[in-house]
Amino acid sequence: MKCPSCHFSETKVLDSRSVSDGLAIRRRRECLKCGFRFSTYEEVEILNLTVIKRNGGKDNYSREKLESGLKKALEKRPVTGDEFKKLIGNIERDIQIRGKDEIKTSDIGEIVMKRLKKLDEVAYIRFASVYQSFRDAETFHKEINKLLREGGKKKGKFRNKISKKTAKLTKR
């Protein structure tokens, strides 16, 4: 890593800190020539992962695509930037654990939903309603009802939110 200030190639690490639940590491560095201090952020990169689309076409895995889909689902939800990074990290880790070079869009969808459900139920419903894994209305309603039962036990307020959301979705 070259110094961003003078481009000298040797730097020393002042401090290393694990971030995003151990999925990334931040290092504070100092240039050995000019003393300039800067930080680097290292995380696991998913390389050579091919995504098989519904129509059979292939595409390279793109974190940006995953992020933009999740940002839509999480719009105006109380999720911090760090929680978001952790979510992405966990999803990518689940993908990597499979140990395969190819993954179907539907498999990514399942992984995303599993992780999203743990983080924010409203975002989960949003994502699931857009994502076509609920192949038919019946499966979708079963899932909503299951959430309503779980949500009703935990927090009464949540029930109202979901009911409104369900009403909107069923109108379509």
Q: Which of 18, 21, 23, 34 binds Zn ion (CB under 5 A)?
A: 34
Instruction: Pick the closer one to Zn ion by CB: 28 or 93.
Output: 28
38 binds Zn ion (CB under 5 A): no
6 binds Zn ion (CB under 5 A): yes
Smallest separation, CB 40 to Zn ion (Å): 14
3 binds Zn ion (CB under 5 A): yes
CA-based torsion, 103, 89, 62, 118: positive or negative: positive
36 binds Zn ion (CB under 5 A): yes
Smallest separation, CB 131 to Zn ion (Å): 47
Per residue, what are the HEC states of 111-128? Answer: HHHHHHHHHCHHHHHHHH
CA angle in degrees (0–180, nearest 5) for 15-18-22? 165
Torsion angles phi and psi, residue 110, rounded to 5: -65, -45
Find all residues with CB under 8 Å of 153, minimum gap 6, and list them.
Answer: none
Please count the residues of this chain forming the interface with Zn ion, following the rule CB under 5 A.
8
HSE-up of 125 (CA within 13 Å, CB side)? 24
> How many angstroms separate the CA atoms of 37 and 14, rounded?
9
> How many angstroms separate the CA atoms of 8 and 34, rounded?
8
Instruction: Pick the closer one to Zn ion by CB: 8 or 41.
Output: 8
Q: Which of 1, 2, 5, 75 binds Zn ion (CB under 5 A)?
A: 5
Smallest separation, CB 10 to Zn ion (Å): 9
Smallest separation, CB 36 to Zn ion (Å): 4
Smallest separation, CB 9 to Zn ion (Å): 9
* Residues contributing to the site for Zn ion (CB under 5 A): 3, 5-6, 8, 31, 33-34, 36
